[in-house]
Amino acid sequence: MTTAPFPATLAPVRRISLLRRYLRRPLGVVALVVLLLVVAAAVLAPWLAPFDPNFVTFKIVHAEPGNGHLLGGDSAGRDILSRLLYGARTTLYGAVITCVAGLVLGVPAGVSAGYFGGVTDRICSWISDALQSIPGMIVLLVVAAGTGQSFPVLMVALGVFMAPGYYRISRARAMAVRKEPYIDAARVAGVTNPRILRTHMMRAVYAPIVVQTALTAGIAIGMQAGLQFLGIGSASTPSWGQMMNDGFNTMLTFPKILLWPSIALGVTIAALAFIGSTLADLISIRAEQPSKRSRARVRHELAAPSAAELSDRVASGSHEHALEDCALRVENLRVGYATQSGVKEVVRGVSLDAAPGEVLGIVGESGSGKTQTSFAVLDLLPSGGTAVADGIWISGREVSKLSSAERAALLGRSIGYVPQEPLSNLDPCYTIEHQLVEPLRYVHGLSKADARARAREVLVRVGITDPERVLGSYPHQISGGMAQRVLIAGAVSGRPSVLVADEPTTALDVTVQAEVLELLRELQQEYGMALVIVTHNFGVVADICDRVVVMKDGRIVETGRVEQIFRAPAHPYTAELISASLDDVEGRDELDRALAHAGGEDDAR
């Protein structure tokens, strides 16, 4: 097999550190600055505080700000600013203890439960559920009474109640990652469970845990203030909760005493919440939707190249038919994604067409932009992908300027799609009947009975001999080949004029592959559709296509009739792809010879 050349234009991936990405978020930066100021105030309290926080001067009882007391005095005659600064220490110290306790208890338990499942999962989940059902505040009051109001013990107890939050997140992540093939590969390679837990699993939970910690710290600070507000904790240790208690008693007469600790508490908790939210965006816990501005920037950059890039921006490929004779025509299509280091162009000026009754192959190595081209035609690009084109015509109608809703309305009616992975494209929760009948009812407006009859008819047409059984089956009850036939049936049931099939046979075994290709060919001829087949395999092209476009690095390097391309490929890349396919054929011949030889020896015996 010939090795495909490494794409010359593939830019190295530039990793941008989390901190640098964080610093690009204004709200996150403000929140971080606020938190750092609170931390600095706590650390530097002995130097910043103008007075001892417990020093009492009767002349500043309920004093207004002034006379050397920037925020005035409290009900006991202590300087409010000094107590606020020292109170920040207590607050942050308590939050750290709580978070560490929650982390230490929740994360290893969650990761183990998610990874091992079974008894471990049942026991850990039972404990977590039990902790969540206990009224935490009451237990904390009991703990406070039983431990002589020891602040660290109280904060550890609070951490125990925070552990289920960490547990649930770690368990869910570990359960998802456990099913990944690379975990099986690590097991097969002999990597031990403790090592898999330490490396793969801990790495998988790291991001959500960072976010959870920021949020837990905020909750811990609020709970801690609540406990201190209730009078728990040593009176000689200044805390924001105690200060609020003091202010609450004189709220109507001296409201400022309550105001300062409330502001400190509110601002600190808000800062932690914004930090958590920004981190959640950055480490993709929430799927980030590209903003309108970012889309417009990508569109502008794709449509208006800089002068230096113009030579590379000429459309590649050509048109074989007049516009009015095309079922599909694409002119100068570009697809790009906004990345941290600028716009990544994955389709760079593609022009192609297909007439009714014609089979067009889009062929190229992995990553050459075949799928992105077909997704742009279908308007099914993943979030973040932006397409611009001089025009896309489906059944003679220019669709590139239509709204998303109008483009969506074409799917299943004017243009159909057959995906690569048949089983993962069927919903495991619904029967095949439901999945075929619903689109016919809601997209094509058929009655339930008519839709069922049509579904049965197309199933028979795609070669399913027992349609009743298949209609009543769930996806896991049918084979991959049958699932692909079902998807083809769904795609052609609306009689589209263009059918796009993206590697429709890759996930199937060799005998089924040939049958599915044959079926596509028959349906295409019967319905007079233009069939666009995306493939990396010249064997498929030779089997079924009339014409072919060869793609490399997002551009078409060659286009022509299949016989002509096989006979005399004009581009060395095409020759290389064909020779890779022929290598396979030789391999097949050798295998056949070896099997014939083995058969002969058996007969002789």
User: Residue numbers of the site for ligand ATP (CB under 6 A)?
Assistant: 337, 344, 346, 364, 366-372, 382, 384-385, 536
Give min distance, CB of 27 to ligand ATP, in A: 25
Q: What are phi and psi of 438, to 5 degrees?
A: -55, -50
Residues with Cβ within 8 Å of residue 338, at least 6 apart in sequence: 290, 294, 295, 297, 298, 344, 384, 386
Give min distance, CB of 519 to ligand ATP, in A: 22
SS3 assignment, position 559: strand
Alpha carbon distance 280, 284 (integer Å): 6
> From residue 528, how far is each of 359, 439, 498 by CA, in Å?
10, 22, 9
Alpha carbon distance 463, 389 (integer Å): 38
User: 539, 521, 540, 519: which is closest to 531 by C-alpha?
Assistant: 521
Looking at the Cβ atoms of 213 and 368, the one nearer to ligand ATP is: 368
Contact between 159 and 100 under an 8 Å Cβ cutoff? The reply is yes
Looking at the Cβ atoms of 253 and 404, the one nearer to ligand ATP is: 404
Looking at the Cβ atoms of 131 and 500, the one nearer to ligand ATP is: 500
Give min distance, CB of 583 to ligand ATP, in A: 19
Give min distance, CB of 326 to ligand ATP, in A: 22
User: 337, 328, 216: which is closest to 275 by C-alpha?
Assistant: 216
Give min distance, CB of 372 to ligand ATP, in A: 4
Report the half-sphere exposure of 445 (CA within 13 A, side-chain side): 2
Residues in the chain: 605
Contact between 345 and 555 under an 8 Å Cβ cutoff? The reply is no
H or E element at residue 535? strand 530-535
Structure tokens at 270: 């808000």
Looking at the Cβ atoms of 2 and 192, the one nearer to ligand ATP is: 2
Residues with Cβ within 8 Å of residue 194, at least 6 apart in sequence: none
User: 316, 302, 378, 397: which is closest to 351 by C-alpha?
Assistant: 316
Q: What are phi and psi of 596, to 5 degrees?
A: -65, -40
Looking at the Cβ atoms of 225 and 418, the one nearer to ligand ATP is: 418
Looking at the Cβ atoms of 98 and 371, the one nearer to ligand ATP is: 371
Give min distance, CB of 16 to ligand ATP, in A: 15
Looking at the Cβ atoms of 272 and 418, the one nearer to ligand ATP is: 418
Q: Residue 4, class by beta-carbon neighbours within 10 Å (0-12 exposed, 13-18 middle, 19+ buried)?
A: middle
Looking at the Cβ atoms of 485 and 536, the one nearer to ligand ATP is: 536
Give min distance, CB of 192 to ligand ATP, in A: 33
Looking at the Cβ atoms of 160 and 315, the one nearer to ligand ATP is: 315
Give min distance, CB of 357 to ligand ATP, in A: 25
Give min distance, CB of 534 to ligand ATP, in A: 6
